[in-house]
Amino acid sequence: MKVCKFGGSSLANAAQVNKVLDIVLADPARRIVVVSAPGKRHPGDTKVTDLLIELAETALKGENTDRQYGAVVERYAEIAQTLNLGEAIVRTIELDITDRIAKVASLERDEFMDLMKAAGEDNSAKIVAAAFCARGKKARYVSPRDTGMVLTGRFGDATLDPCSYATLARAFSGFAGIVVYPGFFGYTKEGKVATFPRGGSDITGSILAAAVCADVYENFTDVDSVYPVDPRIVPEVKGGIQTMTYREMRELAYAGFGVFADEAVIPAVRARIPINIRNTNHPGEPGTMIQQTRRVVPGTIVGIAAADGFCNIVVEKYLMNREVGFGRRLLQVLENEGIAYEHMPSGVDSQCIVVKGQCLPKGKEHKVVQAIRRELNPDFVSVERDISILMVVGEGMCYTAGMLAKACLALASVGISVSMVNQGSSEVSFMLAIRSQDRETAVRALYKTFFG
């Protein structure tokens, strides 16, 4: 059985919904279809989720919501009418949204917001199920409420209650035909609607794939495959990635590969379900397969990612290496301030700690530097900002000497100096830190060397 998830661009209008139906019906294994809310139809358009947020904000202010309500209903009505689904489904959606708005006075702000946001996916699933039925196919809308998708944590940032897996597995074993399931939300134990973070339909798909032990989790979006480098930086990039491992995906997503949030697919990864990224607009393309292992060609890499906005806390002290507990006390300072660190390259008498810039705003920086001086009595401490990190990723690199040398030579050839290097013994990637202003030139140079 395959679980397939379709993102907002795949459901933006009737033509896209028709593509979704064709894809699902082309393979009888595609039995569970997870849908997002309708996304943008063209670059200047607004996603239905954003329209719903605007509608919710207006209702919370106690203002007239007619315009925002009309904009939401209009999106569904356009799809339903073009697909000849009849007026009844549009009335159902109108009623659903009106009912939700009416709850504004009885719910906390965050609860109300989630209730409204969830309407996007919920009604999208109803439309898609109706569209299958209109083609004479056996399909049904199934609610997260009826299948035991129980969420905990904060509204708008909820997580799955792990007990849900067993309930979900039982619920799905009883369904025949195609199940159309709304992504992005579930219910708390108290029966309140709660949503995952934005983009959370990927999480729903991944959870269902794990719950039913799917053969594959197909994630349909609007790209043919994952590219080895950001096409905005290297527009001429050719040849998408055919297969990559979970570890490679994690390393690339960490440094900004934006196909999906790395956390979104944790349930599928833990259950070792292969993930196939595919394009709704080119269903003939095989897409990118992400799985536990792959055949590796020594000396090759799978991708290059780059991310901005890091900073580096540099601490120097003569004979640091002999001071027992130095590292622990240094990290304790960060822990006391609630700061997670990313990398920790070191020299004999120096220790660098790379953290995300947003975790160390100017006010906190002063506090951290003072605490390091107090606790460790260093010879020197400073914070460098505007650092970018480059991740060169590939399981194949551990079998070949000179991969790091090749990367450093490529950067040297365009006059870029590397300020830090970090490579774990798993050798699935290495990290190079450079100045942010050099990021794009660096990525192009690395691409040319490894893929050109």
CA angle 336, 337, 340 (to 5 degrees): 100
By beta-carbon proximity to ligand ASP, the closer residue of 198 and 294 is 198
Stretch that binds ligand ASP, among 102-110, 194-202, 215-223, 369-377 (CB under 6 A): 194-202
Of 202 and 395, which has the nearer Cβ to ligand ASP?
202
Give whichever of 279 and 351 is closer to ligand ASP, judged by the CB atom: 279
Count of residues in the chain: 452
Site string for ligand ASP, 19-48 (x = CB under 6 A): -----------------xx---------x-
Nearer to ligand ASP, 200 or 228 (CB): 200
In the complex, residue closest to ligand ASP by CB: 201
Cβ proximity to ligand ASP: between 46 and 441 the closer is: 46
Contact between 243 and 258 (Cβ < 8 Å) = no
Alpha carbon separation from 140 to 11, 79, 96, 204, 411 (Å, rounded): 17, 18, 18, 17, 55
| Residue 21 contacts residue 14 (beta carbons within 8 Å) | no
Q: Give 196 or 310: the residue with its C-beta nearer to ligand ASP.
A: 196
- CA-closest candidate to residue 90, choices 30, 130, 140: 130
Q: Which of these, 124, 172, 129, 125, lies nearest to 148 by C-alpha position?
A: 172
End-to-end CA distance of the chain, in Å?
39
Angle, alpha carbons 109-115-118 (nearest 5°) = 135
- 341 vs 245: CA distance, rounded Å: 25
Q: How far is the CB of 276 from ligand ASP (least distance, A)?
A: 17
Q: Is 120 in the site for ligand ASP (CB under 6 A)?
A: yes
Q: Please, which of residues 196-225 interact with ligand ASP by CB under 6 A?
A: 198-202
> Least distance (Å) from ligand ASP to the CB of residue 439?
27
Q: Does 5 bind ligand ASP (CB under 6 A)?
A: no
The tokens for 302 are: 């799978």
275-279 vs 288-291, strand pairing mode: antiparallel
Residues touching ligand ASP, count (CB under 6 A): 13
- Give the contact letters, 154-193, x = binds to ligand ASP (CB under 6 A), - = no: -----------------------------xx---------
In the complex with ligand ASP, the residue whose CB is nearer, 199 or 357, is 199
What the block records as the tokens of 405 is 């040398």
Instruction: Work out which of 3, 4, 6, 8 binds ligand ASP, going by CB under 6 A.
Output: 8
Indicate the SS3 state at residue 408.
helix
Per CB under 6 A, residues contacting ligand ASP are: 8, 36-37, 47, 49, 120, 183-184, 198-202
